[in-house]
Amino acid sequence: MLSILNEQIGFYRRINEKEKAIKAANEAIYIIEENNLNNSVGAATVYINVATTMKAFDYAKESLYYFSRAEDVYNNNGKQSDYEYAALLNNKAASLLDLEMYADAKSCYNKAVEILKKEGKHDGDKAISFVSLAQLVFLKDSSAYIEIEEYLDLAWDYLNAPNLIRLRCLAQ
């Protein structure tokens, strides 16, 4: 049931069904708590999905609670250098950005990039992090062209990395 609810949370977020997404999120959290799954990596995945959904529906401040819970689970389970932890940091940074907590957001983005660089894969995700850093700088100071351009150049480099899988459209 938890897996189904987790899928519903993301689906309803993507189709902009706020009430259904929040209802599924509340049910998933209830199942986690009632079954004492709070420290499982699976629960962390649900917490991230719930937090990302809350942020998407303008509850950025409330989302930080669930990002924090997921972060605790990853820390308790030795997952601080995994791709999933980097993804958590990128999503958490987006909430922090909404809350104008620029220094914290920048720290999350930079930490995510550091993890992804060590991991050596997911160049597309690195590019997203650098575009997000450029956006952060722009929001703080739209005249900081040099710093913004540096981040965008880094993003471009990762988007053009030879190991990035590209799909070709075979339109006729």
Q: What top-level class would CATH report for the domain 1-79?
A: mainly alpha
User: What pLDDT does residue 80 have?
Assistant: 93
What are the extents of the domains in the chain? 1-79, 82-165
Mean per-residue pLDDT of the chain:
94
Report the pLDDT value the prediction gives residue 121, as an integer from 0 to 100: 84
Whether the predicted pLDDT of 168 surpasses 80: no
Tokens 């199942």 map to which residue?
31
Q: The whole model's pTM is what?
A: 0.88
pLDDT for res 161: 86
pLDDT at residue 164 tops 80: no
Dihedral of the CA atoms 30, 36, 41, 46 (nearest 10)?
Answer: 0
What is the pLDDT at residue 170? 58
Per the listing, tokens 């053009």 go with 160
Whole-number Å distance between alpha carbons of 96 and 99: 5
- pLDDT at position 57 over 60: yes
Mean pLDDT of 140-144: 93
Q: CA distances (Å), 147 to each of 3, 31, 35, 103, 110, in order? A: 42, 45, 48, 15, 14
pLDDT digits (tens, 9 = 90+) for 89-134: 999 999 999 999 999 999 999 999 999 999 888 999 999 999 999 9
CATH for the stretch 82-165? 1.25.40.10
Q: For residue 65, give both structure tokens.
A: 């609670």
